[in-house]
Structure 1
Amino acid sequence: MNILLVEDEPTVARLIQKGLSESGHSCEHADNGKDGLSFATSKQYDVIILDRMLPHMDGIEVLNSYRSQGVITPTLILSAKNKVEDKVKGLRAGAEDYLTKPFAFEELLARIEILASRNAPLSNTNLTLGELDLDLINRKVTREGKVIDLQSKEFKLLEYLMHNPGKIVTRTMLLEKVWEYNFDPQTNVIDVHISRLRNKIDKGFDYPMIETIRGAGYMINNR
């Protein structure tokens, strides 16, 4: 990923830049709002990490300005302002996510990777795992040649799982990617849809493909 970091605290900026570099990502840094706006409107980025309290221009001003100029780059606000009204203001200004300081770098990385993946185009029109095939163009799912009828959310849920075969997919990841929630609404919607999906994908076949990883999430495997 190519990331723009707009952050005026040198220690925080160094921590983020170092972590992103070690994770294989490139990061450009602006230490004030004016330069941050200039970078955001003149270059292409996968994600923008934006502080709220900045010299020259407040982070909300920067966000409003580049959104008004047609910049749709996914934006995560990173701020010490942790009141609900501060978060709501940032999200309503056009940010896709809001993380408060102090923060764990691992959480920041996970959040920006999710934002970037939402914006990334799908490179394949078919996903295949063993005898399970998902046709993204015709919205058709088959296993061992048998057509499986899925509802819209079930299809999207299976698509996300098949993009991550053999990997644990957490509830948070599913809520953000499939239901587009940036918080946990304490709902059993995932459990209900996973149960329905299992009944359609696994029932009547030799082995189950969707596995529950207790305390962690779900995983789809060929065996």
Structure 2
Amino acid sequence: MQYKIRFNGIDAPELKQDFGNKSKQNLSDLIFGKEVTAIFNKKDKYGRFVGKIMINGVDANLEQIKAGLAWHYKKYADEQSETDRKAYADAEIAAKEAKKGFWIMPNPIPAWDYRTVTKTKQETEKANRKYLVGAKGGCYYLNSSGNKTYVDKKFCADIPTVVKVESKPEPKSEKEADETKEIKKSGVRTYIKGSHGGCYYMNGDKKVYVNDKSLCGN
């Protein structure tokens, strides 16, 4: 049976943050494949058990702080015992002074601030998102990389700022149209794309250039 656990009293870097993967690996080295004791004090709103993990009497939560790979999560410090609260706070000060883990950086961004900034950025991008209707009727928007991200068509139906994009061939000039008609009358020709982008066919040993480059597959 598996349990979802929120480590009480600490907050580790998100995986996309500096030292995020390092923090995850350090915790794995501490507890993976070992017999541990979980001391819980509550369940959070997501149904996760909240507590600390002990390995042979060693507090894994505290070890993460000592390694400079987690912050003392003071927002929830009132859920800790007085002893743990002091130990975690002191461990953070010591790790910072020793420049361990992410404390080697001048101003590491706490995980809770990173999440807030990321969420705000995502909400702003979503609010400013412009939905487009493709040539085949699909609904999409351009992500930060400039790539199309397709979504449910309801987004294009409900939002008044929809820009409908239709793919239409450019009209041919009168000269090109006449040229195409003449070509059809004259039978099958092999059209060749020139080195400079021109389109021609061979009439004997002479090159005859045409204006309609689409005949060469352009």
TM-score w.r.t. the length of structure 1 is 0.21
TM-score w.r.t. the length of structure 2 is 0.21
Q: Which has the larger radius of gyration?
A: 2
